[in-house]
Structure 1
């Protein structure tokens, strides 16, 4: 018989953490989304076009992040988020390897037995029908397809997201909190940087920047696209300086094809090629104190 969870405190916590029940601050107006995708696709080759994500949990989308680069009112708020991110990464760095494929036969057998028990318990605790919210549907599907393996892959995705956020916060520390004043036009630079990275990743080339010698208006597809995006986002800045800055700061890594999730996180080759072996899959160490 399927066991029903009666832990009111746990269910309350799940309800409070269900972000898809309310509108996320990163969701955008559908009309703005359409305009942004149209502008971006105008500068990309036909076979490199970007499309909005679709799914039960997708409420609004953009071809790249359009949020303000700094969202903290105080340094204490900034340091608190940085602590949460780095401690979560440290926890995942210890947690994920525990469940990866082992080369030792006895250890692998133990892991297989644990997986069976873990999957059964996740199925017991999965939400029952009728399912009222999308997150409960996701939890139910995760339990059905294999709770442990699916959870580990979600943990890896979470680690990647946390790693990217840590990098953003460290850039913000240099730009905002270690200086007596904010860098000029930083929002414009951030948007230009995100668009330049998207273009580089999709085409393998750096975009170009330029302006008319007669009017000063943007003269390349990239800078024209930036002008349009700045207008949509109400960014009071010319396109040329942020475009030049973003292009100058592109790296060879930005021009390379995107690696698989595991390769990107230092976990080794894609599982389709090598498998998840503990001898090859190690989450990158954090910074040394």
Structure 2
């Protein structure tokens, strides 16, 4: 969930940019596939075959240091062009599904120019419950006292104080219960280093011997991958 409308609008804008780029690539593939005439089809087939051959020459035959190498090698062996088409369609569908989900959020939370108070309350309650879970390893609880409607647990009383400090009006029960229902197993673990994950991949126990992630996928700027030595 987004903490403010600016972040929400930014994701929608970025998703539309991704969809446009993906759609442009798919349009080119469709145009090539729809070429009429035997000569045109032979030319398109020759282009695809040449690209697939280049992909196979540059692929790693193993052993694989991370799953990225394995997936890329499998795609190259099966036909890079066809795999790219399938992935492009899947990626476009995923973008459409995410945009549909965000449109539902827009109607529920962001149809006004300001941030709805109930959404703000939910976000505060969720962040607070996640902080407790991460630092204690225990699930916070919420309940109300028998002699009144005020919170009866440490989490509930602290959340009520936070709401009062932030001038959030309304009862804490609904935001608190919603926030606790959103907790997952990941919230009870120490936060990961996102930059380390991107650079080194998602292995456990530190960086693998050969760097995966972004550094393992992208070549250095201005350089080309060296040809494989057939003799090893």
Query: Based on CA coordinates, which of the two structures has the bigger radius of gyration?
Result: 2
TM-score normalised over the length of structure 1: 0.37
Higher helix proportion: 2
